[in-house]
Amino acid sequence: MYTKDAQVAWRSPSNIALVKYWGKYGIQLPRNASVSFTLTNAYTNMSIAYQPKSNNEQGVSLYFLFEGQENAKFAQKIQVFLETLVPIFPFLTQLHLNISSSNSFPHSSGIASSASSMSALALCLCSIEQQLLNDFADNEAFLHKASEIARLGSGSAARSVYPYAAVWGYHNDIADSANEYAIPFAMHPYFNTYCNTILIVSRAEKTVSSRAGHALMNDHPYADARYTHANNQLSNLVPILQTGDAQGFINIVENEALTLHGLMMNSNPSFILLHPNTLHIINQIRAFRHDTNIPLCFTLDAGPNVHLLYPAEFATQVQPFIQTNLLAYCQDNYFIEDKVGDGPQKI
Ligand code: PMV
C-alpha cells in the first residue's frame, strides 16, 4: 500500500511525421507505418503528484490544471482516458492524482498538442509505476511501455518518446517495428541537425478532428492504394535517412504532405484544410530551391500551417528568405523555430 505523497514530472516534445499515419483500426492501430522527427521546442511539461486516496470512491480520482488554471473539458478527457487504463495500471484506482500540464507553445497557435501531451502523460504514468512497483527491466522496457500507452491516447504520440526519429507501425523492412508501439530509428547524424520552422498560416483550431479525419479513410476509394503507397514511401525513405541524402528526402516528404491533403480533399465528406497562403508558401519554397539548390522542403500536418525542413548548415540562407518572402503569408507574422531533438526529459 502506498502511504506517502510523491511526484513525477516529464517534458515531452511534439513530433512531425515525414511518412504520415492517416487511417486506423481497432484501438488506435495504424493502417500503415509512419516515421517522424522528434522536435525540441514544442513540448508539454507535465507533473503528477499522487497520494493514497482518502475515500473509497470508485474509479480514477484527479484534479487537473492546464497552464495553471482549472480546465473542465481537458480534465474530463483525461479522466475518461485514465479509466480505460485501469486494467494496465491497477494502482490508478487507489490514488488521487494532481496533474498539472502546460505547453511551450500558445494554445491558439494552430499547433496540435496531442503528441506532446499524451506522451508526457504516458511517461508520467510509467514513472509512477516504476516508483511504486519498480518492475521495468531497463530503460528500453520503460520507453516501450510509455510508447504503447501514448499511442492509446493519440496515435502519433507513440513516436514522441524517442529522440531524433521514430517509426510506428509494422513494416516489412524495419526490424522490430510494430503496430502497438513505436521504436527508435537511427538516422544519419546529418538529419539530427535538421531545423523545423513552423509557419503559422492560421492560429485557428482544426476544422476536422483527428478522430473524424482518420475515419474518412474507412470508406475512402483510395484507401488500399494509400496504405501500400505509404509503406513503399517508407521503404524508399529508410535508406535516404540512413545515408544522409538531403536531396532524396525532399521528394518523398513533400509528396507525403500533399498526399495527406489530397486524401482529405477527395474524401466524402471532403475537407480542404489548405489555405491559399499555404500554396503561396509552397510555391515560394520550390522557387527558392530551384534558384539556390539548397535542400529546403516542406511538410504539412492536418492543417494549413507549413513545416519547413532544412539542414542547420543552411540556416543563414534560409532564415532571411523566410523573413523577406514567407512571413507575409503567416497570421500576425507568427512562426515557431524548432528542430530535431533528443527526446523527452525527466524534470
Ligand atoms: O495522432 P493523431 O490521431 O492526432 O493523428 C495524427 C495524424 C497526422 O498528424 C496527420 C500524421 C502523423 O503521422 O502524425
pLDDT at 102: 96
For residue 78, the CA-to-ligand 1 centroid distance in Å is: 19
> What is the atom index within ligand 1 of the atom nearest the CA of 260?
10
**Would you give the distance in Å from CA 124 to the centre of its chain?**
17
For residues 305 and 202, the answer to whether their CB atoms sit within 8 Å is yes
The verdict on pTM exceeding 0.85 is yes
Note the pLDDT of residue 153: 97
- HSE value, Cβ hemisphere, 13 Å, CA-based, for 50: 23
**Which ligand 1 atom is nearest residue 28's CA?**
3
Contact call for residues 185 and 159 (beta carbons, < 8 A): no
User: Measured from the CB, is residue 149 less than 6 Å from ligand 1?
Assistant: no
Q: 239 CA to middle of ligand 1, Å?
A: 23
Strand locations in 253-332, DSSP E?
Answer: 297-300, 306-311
pLDDT at residue number 1:
47
- Local structure of residue 159 (DSSP, 8 states): G
Q: Is the CB of 307 under 6 A from ligand 1?
A: no
Q: How far apart are CA 313 and CA 334, in angstroms?
A: 23
Specify the DSSP element, H or E, that contains 8. strand 6-19
Q: Helix 223-243 crosses helix 246-265 at what angle (to 10 degrees)? A: 160
For residue 157, the CA-to-ligand 1 centroid distance in Å is 8
Residue 269, preceding peptide bond in cis (omega within 30° of 0) = yes
In the reported structure, the alpha carbon of residue 179 is separated from the centroid of ligand 1 by a whole-number distance in angstroms of 14
- What is the spatial distance between Cα 132 and Cα 93, in angstroms, rounded to a whole number? 14
Q: What is the pLDDT along the chain (347 residues), one digit of tens a residue?
A: 455 679 999 999 999 999 999 999 999 999 999 999 999 999 999 999 999 988 777 899 999 999 999 999 999 999 999 999 999 999 999 999 999 999 998 776 667 789 999 999 999 999 999 999 999 999 999 999 999 999 999 999 999 999 999 999 999 999 999 999 999 999 999 999 999 999 999 988 777 888 899 999 999 999 999 999 999 999 999 999 999 999 999 999 999 999 999 999 999 999 999 999 999 999 999 999 999 999 999 999 999 999 999 999 999 999 999 999 999 999 999 999 999 999 999 99
Whether 34 lines ligand 1, by a CB cut-off of 6 Å, is yes
Look up residue 226 and give its three cell numbers.
494509400
Q: Is the CB of 155 under 6 A from ligand 1?
A: yes
Residue 306 CA to ligand 1 centre (angstroms): 15
Q: Give residue 346's pLDDT.
A: 97
What the chain holds in terms of domains, given with CATH numbers, is: 6-187 (3.30.230.10), 190-339 (3.30.70.890)
- Report how far apart, in Å, the C-alpha atoms of 203 and of each of 179, 219, 285, 326 are: 32, 30, 21, 16
Residue 148 CB less than 6 A away from ligand 1: no
Look at residue 110 in the predicted model and tell me its pLDDT. 66
